[in-house]
Structure 1
Amino acid sequence: MTNTIQQQLIHYTQQAVKELYQSDLPDNQVTIQETRKEFEGQLTIVVFPITRFSKKPPEVTGTEIGTYLRGRMPELVAFNTIKGFLNLSLSDGYWANLFNSQIMQGDFGVFPPNGRKLMVEYSSPNTNKPLHLGHIRNNLLGYSVASILKAYGYAVIKANLVNDRGIHICKSMLAWQRWGNGETPESSGLKGDHLVGKYYVLFDKAYKREIDELKANGYSEEDAKRQAPIIREAQQMLQQWEAGDAVVIALWKTMNSWVYAGFERTYGRLGVDFDKYYYESDTYLLGKDIIQEGLDKGVFFRKEDNSVWIDLTADGLDEKLVLRGDGTSVYITQDLGTAQLKYDDFGMDESIYVVGNEQDYHFKVLFLILKKLGKPWASGLFHLSYGMVDLPSGKMKSREGTVVDADDLMDEMVATAKIRTEELGKTEGLSVSEKNHLYQLIGMGALKYFLLKVEPKKRLLFDPNESIDFQGHTGPFIQYTHARIKSVLAKGNYSLDLLAVVPDTLSASERDLIQLLGNYPAVIEAAAKEFSPAQLANYCYEAAKQYNKFYHEETILKAEKDAVRNFRLHLSAATARTIAAGMELLGIKVPERM
């Protein structure tokens, strides 16, 4: 759904180079971008790459290309060349046609099914503690990427691989056995994940005390960590679990069920969901058949201690252990098996892993091994790596109990939204339930937008106070703009069948708003191809900002002519629809009133 005017410009620019300079200009040498605001025009062709064919200065080349285009494209009414940039002005008739034939249509920005299937795996929590701020970024990224890809035409499966086994799980279980006195979520009033997390922290504190005691008795740091009675007991519990001990398994199932119930409440509040859950307790033994397959193919090799390795030094990596000498799995063994299981289940063309950048090396190794094993689907694997989230107070440390809890943070965001909204007097005429609903929308919108507007790879500093600003580059600003448009439409008794004709002459703000709205499908396409909700988030901000400029510069409800009034109402409605659609793909709701 690339804008057809850009396709025409590429075509005619290539023809111009062919006729004027007797050369073939490759597609990738034609760069078209929006004209900078300080210059006249709406679209700009970058001339510099063409000068190697013209053998002329950029200004001369731009003028020659512009003259050629003007003679063949009736939509082009003027051009100017500034240094190496050819700025093009399109007719108001072109923008009017774009608005009527595309933007006003019900399927604008909707891509047809592309026949491809894709899995997005995200969240991947541990069942020994609640979700925290880092998990929030993970969940929001995964959900939004899945939504954008679905809008772009993919059949999407949202998957969650839950880490529900291992020594860290046993730590919470052992601590509850020692100090829990039968405490449950019901008896304590705590969410299940918070209750289990409490015992994870208690274990860690006890473990540190024992380490300090052993060090005081002459043990080295490493020996103290290994010999501390409580960690040895946790390791014994893990062995009992893997051996199928009925008492340990029963406790594990009970405490995990508490955590799952807690997670579901958090997911519901975040507005994320999943089509398929995988559990490491089911998948941790997978992969051993793949190890044997790799040995048979000569991809892996055994060392004297019977451990299995792969040599990736020729690929710029190192030797990687894939199976221990005693035959037990390492993490990558399981990941190899789970990757095969996911493909066997769904046969997807592509699979995206949304995981923090501390796992960059792991996924590089995982994908390379699968390719060396000759898995035909391995080329469709992608690690969507994202940066850490910091707060002004500093980095989070979950084992010390200082984690920025997801539920607490959401509560804080809603409370702050309430204070800010009431300070600005934006709740007049709303009932108590409507107000509470609005605070939820604004608080969660602020949180989500702040985390999604930054490119995933970048580390970010999340400031809750900065995120709730009705005038800044924030979710609440976009939400408020949507509510403002809805208010205009209500006052104007707007309906979709309102008769309107686009004026022969458009104002600059009308033209700019139509151009921006026309870019929506291209933004969806770019966000999908680059797995970047940030592109869509920033587009929604630009749309809100451009509408406010239009709102302040043009009379809407009291326009001199009914046709102009009706057109501006249609333009307002199209902006509201586009903002709402874009924000929905980010998982953000926009209010009707505010």
Structure 2
Amino acid sequence: MSLISILTPEIKKAVTLLFDANIDTIEFQATRREFEGDITMVVFPLLKVIKGNPVELGNKIGTYLVENVTEVQAYNVVSGFLNIVISADYYLDFFNDVKADKQFGMVEPNPDDKAVMVEYSSPNTNKPLHLGHVRNNLLGYSVAEIIKASGKKVYKTQIINDRGIHICKSMLAWQKFGNGETPESAGLKGDKIVGNYYVKFDQAYKGEISELIATGLSEDDAKKQAPLILEAQQMLLDWEAGKPEVISLWKTMNQWVYDGFATTYENMGVDFDSYYYESNTYLLGKEVVQMGLEKGIFEKDPDGSVWIDLTEDGLDRKIVLRSDGTAVYMTQDIGTAIQRVKDFPDVGGMVYTVGNEQDYHFKVLFLILKKLGFDWSTNLFHLSYGMVDLPSGKMKSREGTVVDADDLMNEMMQTAQTISEDLGKLDGYSEDEKTTLYRTIGLGALKYYILKVDPKKRILFNPEESVDFAGNTGPFIQYTYARIQSIIRKADFDFASKTFSAGEITLHEKEKELIKVLALYPEVIQNAAVNHSPALIANYTYDLVKEYNSFYQTVPILGSDDENAKMFRVQLSKKVGETIASAFKLLGISVPNRM
């Protein structure tokens, strides 16, 4: 049992017996390092129901706990904080319970619980995935894995934006400038080829605008009258009309992109259970608008457009259907959400991984779905995240200045190779082993650097800083894991089978501190799931590694003269290694056996 679950009923009992009062909740926090104790109860909230001095209250409760709770060894009170010292026996018993548990921290899903659908990636098919998509994918994938570990069934999905004027721009540029180029003939991934033509369209379009301005047109008129944009707009109309040659080219070029995306996703280590395509969903939601009109949720303007008035909810009026009867993005998102629940009837909530520039959009979407009466609408969450910046400045897709996701991953592997070679720790590795290690370190550095930051915060990404082998980085944690595996390989004795009782071994303070951090892992997973924050997992893992390294530097492990201590410390090291690997798996990060 966790300390909180042991202490909570006992403290409530103490309050009733000592003060003839009842309390509903008890506030706990970690004991500050400068004070003795393992867990701290905050006494101040008791003053709402009990009159008295908080120090006196704390002393009375502390005395009761020492006398009545076997796990409590001692206590001290600092101001209104009751610092509780837990016996080493509790930590030894806890460790014995979890040391062989391969699923430590994980909760099996309850088949009666509703599933959660997590949407992430959701790219456009006119360009490769870029740095912004990297944060999106890593966040969405990790949150899905964390929610799954917390005991929920999870579906991973994305909606691919495969229609619209931006798609037609790439198609038109390929028609004009492509000379039949294919991924095979160019030796390039298909998404890169299509992205190149998106850039070429913009370059040619700007040239036409300049020429028209030179003839005396205003810039706005030149942008509207440039032949290329008129041709792209006509191509979009032809696509909507189902013109065979346009549809054929659209399918061909989109497939190039899908194949390219699949390679990037595989290299990034993310996956999906289902795919939705805007070309199939953009008409969804129109019938829902009619239902909303009948219920009085939506209102029709004289020009035939349909709106929802959310001013009483602190928002504004939002259009859901244009006057010509065509849907807007909001309509599509309403329809897609409803369609997903139809496709996956056990879904009871959704997480949308989308940048913070769409915060308002999702406030409106969730409120509309709630007003339409869908009970699952109360379990919708916008996983809003900040942008990723580089020292070189802002990225622009149409100008070709984005940081390509594939290029970034390759750069990370090359940086890992350079640093690893400089450190000179690769003796005895084959070339294949080196390549695998560079990949593990490079991608681990990238993922950890991004995921350790609270999703809401903007990131300035520094590739070289992320591959540092010291500090709060992926490679530092991976190196500690590899160090533990080295200890286990060198332990040429049966260390795993023996279970130590309190009389056989006395826990060193560093062992106790390390087990304390281990014991937090299940709670950290639950908190990370509730808060949709991989950063909580990342920073917990760093804290665990720091505590292990302090233990490693303070007490002898394989060099101990006490055989029981030696066996126990290898057991403890092994469990820490397993927990590092488990936590990193939730972040989508691999761990190496050697570094």
Q: One fold, TM greater than 0.5?
A: yes
1:393 is displaced (CA, Å) by 1.8
1:389-428 matches, cutoff 5 A? 389-428=388-427
Query: Is residue 523 of structure 2 the alignment partner of residue 527 of structure 1?
Result: no
**For residues 83 and 396 of structure 1, what CA distance do their matches in structure 2 show?**
53
CA distance in 1: counterparts of 2:170 and 2:248, whole angstroms: 14
Partner residue in 2 for 1:197: 195
- 1:61 and 1:255 map into 2 onto residues whose CA distance is 73
Residue of structure 2 equivalent to 1:48: 44
Within the candidate set 76, 90, 101, 1:94 is matched to 90
Residue 446 (structure 2) pairs with residue 450 (structure 1): no
Aligned partner of 1:137 in structure 2 is 135
SS at match of 1:400: coil
C-alpha separation in 1, matches of 2:69 and 2:215: 87
- Deviation of 1:447 after TM superposition, in Å, equals 0.2
Any conservation in 2 of the 1:92–1:504 contact (CA below 8 Å)?
no
Name the CA distance, whole Å, in 1 between partners of 2:185 and 2:455.
Answer: 40
- 1:211 and 1:318 map into 2 onto residues whose CA distance is 36
Matches within 5 A, 1:64-79: 64-79=60-75
- Corresponding residue to 1:149 among 127, 134, 147: 147
Contact 1:500 1:563 in 2 (8 A): no
Question: Structure 1 unaligned runs (5+)?
Answer: none
SS of residue matched to 1:54: coil
> Do the aligned residues in 1 keep the contact of 2:159 with 2:275 (CA within 8 Å)?
yes
Pick from 279, 282, 295 the counterpart of residue 280 of structure 2. 282
Q: Deviations over 1:216-264 (max 9, x none)?
A: 4443343332222211111110000000001100110111011011101
State the percentage of identical aligned residues. Answer: 58
The letter for the 2-side match of 1:456 is P
Match of 1:471 in 2: 470
Q: Which piece of structure 1 moves more, 525-534 or 6-15?
A: 6-15
CA apart distance, 1:8: 2.2
For residue 155 of structure 1, what is the amino acid of its counterpart?
K
The CA distance in 2 between the partners of 1:191 and 1:91, in whole Å, is: 60
Amino acid corresponding to residue 206 of structure 1 in structure 2: A
Q: Say yes or no: does 1:320 pair with 2:318.
A: yes
Of the structure 1 ranges 569-578 and 208-217, higher mean CA displacement relative to structure 2 is found in 208-217
1:329 aligns with 2:330: no
Q: How does 1:371-390 map to 2 (within 5 A)?
A: 371-390=370-389
Q: CA deviation at 1:126?
A: 0.3
Task: Name the CA distance, whole Å, in 2 between partners of 1:216 and 1:358.
Answer: 36
Moved more, 135-144 or 492-501: 492-501
**Aligned partners of 2:495 and 2:570 also within 8 Å:** no
Residues 284-293 or 478-487, more deviating: 284-293
* CA apart distance, 1:9: 1.6
- Contact kept in structure 2, 1:387 and 1:456, CA below 8 Å: yes
Q: Report the alpha carbon displacement of residue 544 of structure 1 after superposing the two structures with TM.
A: 1.1
Task: Verify: 1:163 aligned to 2:161, yes or no.
Answer: yes
Shift in Å, 1:172: 0.4
Cα deviation, residue 99, structure 1: 0.5
* Distance across 2 between alignment mates of 1:83 and 1:219: 76
For residue 64 of structure 1, give the secondary structure of its aligned residue in structure 2. Answer: helix
C-alpha contact (below 8 Å) 1:175/1:203 kept by paired residues: yes
Deviates more, 1:479-488 or 1:94-103: 94-103
- State how far apart, in whole Å, the 1-side matches of 2:402 and 2:24 are: 53
Structure 1 residue 211: Cα displacement: 2.6
Most deviating of 495-504 and 434-443: 495-504
Instruction: Describe how 1:173-212 pairs up with structure 2 within 5 A.
Output: 173-212=171-210
Q: Distance in 1 between matches of 2:508 and 2:287?
A: 68
Helix, strand or coil: the match of 1:335?
Answer: helix
Distance 2:408 2:361 in 1: 30
Deviation (angstroms), 1:19: 2.7
1:295-332 CA-partner distances (Å, limit 9, x unpaired): 11111111121111111111111111111111111111
Q: Compute the displacement of 1:496 (Å).
A: 6.5
**Are the equivalent residues in 2 in contact too, given 1:45–1:86 (CA < 8 A)?**
yes
Counterparts of 1:446 and 1:427, CA distance in 2? 18
The TM-score normalised by the length of structure 1 is 0.97
CA contact (8 A) 1:499 1:563 kept: no
Structure 1 position 63 matched with structure 2 position 59: yes
Instruction: Provide the rounded CA distance (Å) in 2 between the counterparts of 1:395 and 1:64.
Output: 60
Counterpart for residue 106 of structure 2? 110
Equivalent in the alignment of 2:593: 592
Deviation digits for residues 384-420 of structure 1 (CA, Å, limit 9, x no counterpart): 1111111122222222110011011101100000011
Identify if the C-alpha distance between structure 1 residues 142 and 494 changes in structure 2 by more than 3 Å, giving closer, same or farther. farther
Aligned pairs, how many? 590
Task: Give the Cα–Cα distance (whole angstroms) in 1 for the partners of residues 587 and 33 of structure 2.
Answer: 28
Q: Deviations over 1:8-52 (max 9, x none)?
A: 22222222222333322121xx11121122211111111221233
- Residues 294/496 of structure 1: CA separation in 2 closer, same or farther (3 Å cut): farther
Structure 1 segment 165-564 matched on structure 2, within 5 A = 165-347=163-345, 348-493=347-492, 497-501=496-500, 504-564=505-565
528-537 vs 220-229, which deviates more?
220-229
Shift of 1:376: 2.1
**Other-structure match for 1:84:** 80
Deviations 1:410-436 (A, max 9, x none): 011000000111111221211111011
Q: Partners in 1 of 2:103 and 2:587 — Cα distance?
A: 19
| Whole-angstrom CA distance in 2 between matches of 1:546 and 1:591 | 20
Cα distance in 1 between the residues matched to 2:528 and 2:203: 44
Contact 1:386/1:458 (<8 A) preserved: yes
**CA contact 1:500–1:564 (8 Å) conserved in 2:** no
Q: Quick one: which amino acid aligns to residue 264 of structure 1?
A: A
Are residues 146 and 216 of structure 1, via their aligned partners in 2, closer, same or farther at CA, if it must alter by over 3 Å?
same
How many Å separate the matches in 2 of 1:412 and 1:430?
21
> Separation in 1 of the partners of 2:52 and 2:217?
78
**Alignment RMSD:** 1.4
**Amino acid in the other structure paired with 2:575:** A
Q: Which amino acid aligns with 2:171?
A: M
CA contact (8 A) 1:21 1:53 kept: no
Whether the 8 Å CA contact 1:498–1:566 is kept in 2: the answer is no
Instruction: Flag the 1:577–1:403 CA change in 2: closer, same or farther, 3 A.
Output: same
> In the TM superposition, what is the alpha-carbon distance from 1:187 to its structure 2 partner?
1.0
Give the 3 Å change call, closer, same or farther, for CA 38–244 of structure 1 in structure 2. same
**Displacement of 1:500:** 4.6
**Matched letter for residue 71 of structure 2:** E
Mark the CA change 1:19 to 1:522 in structure 2 (over 3 Å): closer, same or farther.
same
Whether the 8 Å contact between 2:496 and 2:571 is mirrored in structure 1 is: no
Alpha-carbon separation, structure 2, partners of 1:169 and 1:364? 28
Q: Against the structure 1 CA distance between its residues 24 and 252, is the aligned structure 2 distance closer, same or farther, given a 3 Å change threshold?
A: same
Q: Structure 1 371/100 Cα, relative in aligned 2: closer, same or farther at 3 Å? A: same
- CA-CA distance at 1:495 after TM superposition: 5.4
Asked if structure 2 preserves the Cα contact closer than 8 Å seen for 1:103 and 1:518, the reply is no
521-530 or 210-219: which moved more?
210-219
For 1:542 and 1:232, the matched residues in 2 are separated by: 58
1:517 positional shift: 0.7
SS in 1 for 2:532: coil
Amino acid of the structure 2 residue aligned with 1:514: I
Q: Secondary structure at the match of 2:577?
A: helix
Could you give the per-residue CA deviations for residues 347-400 of structure 1, whole angstroms, max 9, x where no partner exists? Answer: 201111111111111111111111111122211211111111111222222221
Conservation of the 8 A alpha-carbon contact between 2:386 and 2:458: yes
Greater shift, 423-432 or 137-146, is seen at 423-432
8 A Cα contact 1:494 1:569, kept in partner: no
Counterpart of 1:427, as a letter, is: L
Secondary structure of 2:118's aligned partner: strand
Q: Which AA in structure 2 matches 1:409?
A: L
